[in-house]
Structure 1
Amino acid sequence: MELIMSPFIEQFEKFKFELRHKSSLKIVTLGPVGTSSNCAALFLVDELSKVNSACNYSIDLKDNFNEVYEQLRCNKTDYALVPAAYERITDFFWCKDFSNVLSFIYETPKYGIISKNDYVFSKSIDVKIASCPAVEKIVNFIGKDIQENYNLELVRTFSTAQAAEFVANGITDIGVTNESSYEIYKGKGIKFITPRYSAKILWVIFKNNKLD
């Protein structure tokens, strides 16, 4: 077990040492407000402030992870926060200019499928469902009845927050989103129509080696 744990401990101790000497720290991740990435970044900053409360922390939210990647590549941020669930996280791991400097587990807000309050399913037309790629498979677990009885047309989004926005604005009929994004748009007449559950996700912090 020591061989498994020692790299994580080394990462943690080195990161903590560097953190103590910082006066400011910027983290870039996926937005907008309400995404699981945003929630994880807020959790991270809260924990980091326990080590260095004098540091000025900031979170920069981007529309997609391509922008997150470019911000780090161009040295416009100190760190990039990326969930292991992101389908192209290997782009970060295999970039020779990036290093994985810390990893941690954070449980996401609960996810489910939403619709407008007055939405009625119809077998005569396709049901448009909004989802970001990372959580498309959730439908297999909590939306089997919907899958079996209706023809679904997938509309891909960059985030769960955007999926909630699409449903709230009538762009799609239903969508996969989380409770934090739902809270932002619930005033527009949306509701959860399935059970909800969360996942314990590994989150990875990358930095650009050129900053050393």
Structure 2
Amino acid sequence: MVEQTPAVTAREPAGWDELCRRADTEGARVITLGPAGTSSHDAARHLQTRLVEAGGGPPLPLELYDTFDVVLERAAADASCLALVPSAYRGATAFHWHDDLRLLFHFARSTPPYGLAARRLPAAPEPLRVAAMAEVDHLYAGLVPPPLAHREVVRVAARSTRHAAELVRRGAADVAVTNEPSRREAGLVWLSCRPGVDIVWLVFARAPSEHRNLTDPTPDPHPEEPT
């Protein structure tokens, strides 16, 4: 028996007009990774401003969550949520493939500057505790200043750039791979920094019922007879 490929209904991103319509519904809000100071928070505030300019109403409420897993759960459960996710997030594919979500819109925006921040230049000889979220941990090698280049490194996992900076502020890490708003909020100083990079930001929302379960398996007209 030859297996038949299920028919798939094609679907394009809904676009700016659909995003504006969703934003104008009761209870609509933008949700993304927090706390305040993350690059996601910066992009969310930019999106708020664009929607205000387009519709003339007040800014949409903004809700910040500790992880993108929570953002996904909230967006899938509540049609009023507009989930903002950076394409550079390693788990973004989970949003794309979620049966109950739909990509509404995407836009490019540069992140704030990134770098290595600390309360002061860490003293030797202790191992250097470096706080970073997984997506930017690799930046350390290109940012480490000469006085720290040969230090033993112990990685400290962080949920966000702001969390990384807070770990240093509290003394749980020596250096953070973080961004400018988070560095400033935590009262840290730059050891080194670099310009931000352009990121594509993705806006997801709960899909209308007609756009869920898109596969349409076609019954085999000549089923194999049992033997």
TM over 0.5, yes or no? yes
In the alignment, structure 1 segments of 5+ residues that lack a partner are: 1-6
Give the superposition deviation at 1:22: 3.1
What's the counterpart of residue 78 of structure 2?
Answer: 75
Pairing partner for 1:193 from 191, 194, 197: 191
What's the counterpart of residue 167 of structure 1?
Answer: 168
In the alignment, structure 2 segments of 5+ residues that lack a partner are: 1-11, 211-227
Q: Relative to structure 2, which stretch is displaced further, 18-27 or 93-102?
A: 18-27
> Is it true that 1:135 corresponds to 2:133 in the alignment?
no
Q: Could you tell me which amino acid in structure 2 is paired with residue 102 of structure 1?
A: F
Give the aligned CA root-mean-square deviation in angstroms.
2.2
Normalized per residue, the structure richer in helix is: 1
Give the superposition deviation at 1:56: 5.4
Pairing partner for 1:205 from 200, 203, 206: 203
Pairing partner for 1:62 from 58, 62, 65: 65
- C-alpha contact 2:113 2:193 (8 A) present in aligned 1: no
- 1-structure distance, mates of 2:79, 2:15: 23
Q: Could you tell me which amino acid in structure 1 is paired with residue 192 of structure 2?
A: T
What's the counterpart of residue 107 of structure 1?
Answer: 110
What's the counterpart of residue 48 of structure 1?
Answer: 51
Give the superposition deviation at 1:74: 1.7
What's the counterpart of residue 151 of structure 2?
Answer: 150
Classify 1:77/1:169 alpha carbon distance in 2 versus 1 (closer, same or farther; 3 Å).
farther
Give the superposition deviation at 1:183: 1.6
Q: Relative to structure 2, which stretch is displaced further, 21-30 or 96-105?
A: 21-30
What's the counterpart of residue 126 of structure 1?
Answer: 127
Give the superposition deviation at 1:150: 1.0
- 1-structure distance, mates of 2:145, 2:101: 40
- 2-structure distance, mates of 1:93, 1:200: 20
- 2-structure distance, mates of 1:178, 1:191: 11
Offset from partner CA, 1:123-144 (integer Å, 9 cap, x none): x321100001111111122226
Classify 1:76/1:168 alpha carbon distance in 2 versus 1 (closer, same or farther; 3 Å).
farther
Q: Could you tell me which amino acid in structure 2 is paired with residue 65 of structure 1?
A: F
Q: Could you tell me which amino acid in structure 2 is paired with residue 149 of structure 1?
A: H
| Aligned-partner SS, 1:204 | strand
Identity across aligned pairs (percent)? 26
Pairing partner for 1:15 from 4, 12, 19: 19
User: Across the two proteins, how many residue pairs are aligned to each other?
Assistant: 199
Q: Give me the TM-score of the superposition, normalised by structure 2.
A: 0.80
- 1-structure distance, mates of 2:82, 2:32: 9
Classify 1:121/1:211 alpha carbon distance in 2 versus 1 (closer, same or farther; 3 Å).
farther
Q: Could you tell me which amino acid in structure 2 is paired with residue 140 of structure 1?
A: A
- 2-structure distance, mates of 1:196, 1:61: 26
